[in-house]
Amino acid sequence: MASAKEEILARIRNAKVPPVAPTVRGYDREGTGGVELFAERVADYRAIVHVVTDVPEALERLKGKRIVAPHDVPAEWLVDGVTWLHEPLTIEELDQSDGVLTGCAVAIADTGTIVLDGSEGQGRRALTLLPDYHLCVVRVDQIAASVPEALQRLEPTRPLTFISGPSATSDIELNRVEGVHGPRTLEVLIVG
Amino acid sequence: MARNPVTWLGSPTFPKAAHEALADTQLRQNLRKATGTIRGRRAAAVGEMTDWEQLRVAGEQIKDDVLSRLDTLLLQLEESVTARGGVVHWARDAEEANKIVLDLCRAENAREVVKVKSMATAEIGLNEALEAGGVHAIETDLAELIVQLGDDRPSHILVPAIHRNRSEIREIFQRRMGVEVSDEPADLAEAARVYLREKFLTAKVAISGANFAVADSGSIVVLESEGNGRMCLTLPETLITVMGIEKLVPTWQDLEVFLQLLPRSSTAERMNPYTSVWTGVTPGDGPQRFHLVLIDNGRTATLEDSVGRQALRCIRCSACLNVCPVYERTGGQSYGSVYPGPIGAILTPQLVGDMHDPQAASLPFASSLCGACFEVCPVRIDIPSVLTHLRAEAVEAKGRTAESVAMAAAAWVFREASRYEKAQKAGSLARFLARDGRITSLPWPGSKWTASRDVPAPPSESFRAWWRKNRG
């Protein structure tokens, strides 16, 4: 008897679907948005946005809290007065922290999206998921205008998380409500 | 072969189910409110895109390209997933897919698994199959949870509990979670968060679907809102993803089209809160065992139909449901399938693959052919054309019926002018059955027609007779 794989492939070939012409990409692949649009669209999701010049100064807001930070965030971000939690951390420790501070890989102005890829200053995916508060630092040069531009900058085989605002649901009467399983508060620092 | 669980066993035909649903005023009120809200928001989200039509065309073309070389792309996907430490399984039908997943759960000694909302697993009846095998699947998407706790059936692709309003949801949560909660959506979401937290933190196995799989990189993509998806895709040691074979895109670049089309079409957002992308296994981050189950379950048969195969372009956004005047009034459960609404009316009968099944064969008729579904479809599926195509198939499968005999007789009458005139004269006698110019019940076989509509009374004299008398 043929394996499921062989049989499915044979059925597909048997359907004899004719080849098609190459895809026409007549849509806008560039986009024009920058910092301003990005800030506006992040705020539309009811995230908190600040444009700052001095990150350590802006991090004063974390004073007195227990904050998770990947080991490779810039040393100047680890300001005094904060209890910094570093890996290795258990799921319970992450769950019981007050928040997490990370950088990002890319951001998208058109959609107000932040993308994490687990590289420098971002840590593994669970770090930005279990704490109820996520403070994300976005450098201006990390902001791509459009979705196509952002995807071009990303390496698809890395573990990627696209974040557009705090966790939300539209499941009750199709209206968006913020705050379900992911961080209920998202705060973004755009460093100009 | 076992029956395809894409339709629910024992469901009445669409007209019968719709007749009952129409009497439920609460249901109609809930649906009118929810679909009305989302229609307006979608129009705004799409309206701000100047290149929406070009994106739709590209979406259509990419998906048609996938269907034209599906065998090659599936092999490419298998190779890239395997190279990154994943294991790929193939399943011809629901039964085979369910067995694969159950065996994988058993190998992990899992008695309880967490699930991300997935149409593919709903289609194959995975939860029921797991339960029968001693594994309890917990739905973690809010709407799926409402359906599961309410011992209910889904009624919408994106929001399976769309037929429930906030006070009904509150009642279900209080009864099943044993908590006091208000009917404020924020409080209801909080109750779900608390209820599921422990499950997420302790689950060893998660099961998900996939919105897209990228053939050339082996990356799998899941779009979601609540973070329950991220929980399932990140915390457990083992991840099992079940996916229809048509969910592919050829390259990473192709996602730039669908990541713009899907969120605006489904939840009417510029972007959904969370999208996760993973490729096989990443050491030190997320599940260290990854299984991908590719299911056919009627898709290759659908692929053979040159008109019907475009249904396989569907990216499950549910925009067509939200604009459909029939869906808005009958609700999703009347379609007797996990795929309701216009897309369900063309996808379900094709997946079932048997037009002798009266329930499946009734679905292509669940439409007024108004075309609103085609207009909003982000991958330009011409649903009205497929509906009429499938209607023809349904009629053919029915063979000789009272209707087909009557049509054949009518054709015979129309072929000769003299027969036609005689028939008109005889027909004018029917006016004696009319009251206020309308006939509400004809004798058999005309009763088949008047069972669902009135007939205007024929005039006492035909136009041809009048012309001959006055102008001839």
Q: What is the tens place of the pLDDT at every residue in A132-182?
A: 999 999 999 999 999 999 999 999 999 999 999 999 998 888 778 888 999
- Give the range of the structural domain holding residue A181, as residue numbers without chain letter: 39-191
Q: Comparing C-alpha atoms, which of A169, A152, A161, A111 is closest to residue A134?
A: A161
Q: How far is B148 from chain A (nearest CA, A)?
A: 14
Q: What is the pLDDT of residues A85-110, one digit of tens each?
A: 999 999 999 999 999 999 999 999 99
Residue ranges of the domains in chain B? Answer: 14-300, 402-470
Model confidence pLDDT, tens digit, residues B120-160? 999 999 999 999 999 999 999 999 999 999 999 999 999 99
* B190 contacts in chain A (CB < 8 Å): 179
What is the rounded distance in angstroms from the CA atom of residue B71 to the CA atom of residue A17?
Answer: 11
Q: Which CATH superfamily is domain B14-300 in?
A: NagB/RpiA/CoA transferase-like (3.40.50.10420)
Which of A181, A184, A186, A188 is the best residue to mutate to test the B interface, defined by the most B CB atoms within 10 Å of its own CB?
Answer: A181
Q: What is the largest CA-CA distance in chain B?
A: 94
* Assigned domain for A22 exists: no
pLDDT of residue B222: 98
User: Are B171 and B192 spatial neighbours (Cβ–Cβ below 8 Å)?
Assistant: no
User: In percent, how much of chain B has pLDDT > 90?
Assistant: 84
What is the reported pLDDT for B457? 82
**Whose structure tokens read 């229609």?**
B39
CB contact under 8 A, A161 and B270: no
pLDDT score of B267 more than 80: yes
Residue A149, domain member (yes or no): yes
- Kindly report whether the peptide bond that precedes residue A88 is cis, defined as omega within 30 degrees of 0: yes
Chain A residues closer than 8 Å to B146 by CB: 171
| Each residue's pLDDT tens digit, B42-52 | 999 999 999 99
Q: Can you tell me which residue has the tokens 């706790």?
A: B149
**Residue A123: closest CA among chain B residues belongs to which residue?**
B285
**Interval A2-25: pLDDT, tens:** 899 999 999 999 999 999 999 999
Least confident of A63-67, B43-47, B375-379, B444-448: B444-448
Q: Which of the residues B90, B270, B294, B318 would you substitute to probe the A interface, choosing the one with the greatest number of A C-beta atoms within 10 Å?
A: B270
Cis peptide before B283 (omega within 30 of 0): no
Beta carbons of B74 and A180 less than 8 Å apart: no
Please check whether residue B100 is in contact with residue B333, taking contact to mean a CB–CB distance below 8 angstroms: no
Nearest CA in chain B to A18: B68
Position B343 pLDDT exceeds 90: yes
Whether B1 shows a pLDDT value over 70: the answer reads: no
Cβ contacts of A3 on chain B, cutoff 8 Å: 90
Closest CB from A7, A17, A27 relative to B54: A27
Cα three-residue angle B191-B197-B199, rounded to 5 degrees? 120
Tell me: pLDDT of B376 over 90. Answer: yes
Arithmetic mean of pLDDT, B417-441:
80
User: Among partner residues A91, A147, A183, which is closest to B201 by beta-carbon distance?
Assistant: A91
Indicate whether A2 belongs to any domain.
Answer: no
pLDDT tops 70 at residue B30: yes
CB contact (8 A) between residue A45 and residue B273: yes
Mean pLDDT of B236-264: 98
pLDDT confidence tier of residue B448, bands split at 50, 70 and 90 = confident
Confidence of residue B414 (pLDDT cuts 50, 70, 90): confident
Contact flag B62-A23 (C-beta cutoff 8 Å): yes
B34 pLDDT above the threshold of 70:
yes
Task: Kindly tell me if the per-residue pLDDT of B70 is higher than 90.
Answer: yes
Handedness of CA B182, B187, B190, B192 (dihedral sign): positive
Q: Which residue has the higher pLDDT, B437 or B83?
A: B83
Measured between CB atoms, which of A129, A162, A174 is closest to B234? A129
Average pLDDT for chain B: 94
Res B402 pLDDT > 90? no
* Residue in B225, B271, B309 nearest the CB of A169: B225
CB pairs under 8 A between A and B: 247
Res. B241 pLDDT band, cuts 50 70 90 = very high
> What was the pLDDT predicted at B422?
85
Please report, rounded to a whole number, the percentage of residues in chain B having pLDDT higher than 70: 100
B-chain residues within 8 Å CB-CB of A111? 270-271
Contact B234 A7 (CB under 8 A): no
Q: What percent of chain A has pLDDT over 90?
A: 93
**CATH number of the domain that residue A169 is part of:** 3.40.50.10420
The interface predicted TM-score (ipTM) is: 0.97
- d(Cα A64, Cα A61) in Å, to the nearest integer? 9
- How many separate domains does chain A show? 1
Confidence of residue A41 (pLDDT cuts 50, 70, 90): very high
Contact B273 A17 (CB under 8 A): no
CB contact under 8 A, B235 and A126: yes
Mutate to test the interface with A, among B148, B274, B293 (most CBs of A within 10 A): B274
Residue of chain A whose Cα is closest to the Cα of B203: A91
Interchain pair B253, A151: CB under 8 A = yes
Cβ contact (<8 Å) for A179 and B230?
Answer: no
Q: Which helix (H) or strand (E) holds B322?
A: helix B319-323
3-state secondary structure string across chain A: CCCHHHHHHHHHHHCCCCCCCCCCCCCCCCCCCCHHHHHHHHHHCCCEEEEECCHHHHHHHHCCCEEECCCCCCHHHCCCCCEEECCCCCHHHHHHCCEEEECCCEEECCCCEEEECCCCCCCCHHHHCCCCEEEEEEEHHHEECCHHHHHHHCCCCCCEEEECCCCEECCCCCCCEECCCCCCEEEEEEEC
pLDDT at B409: 85
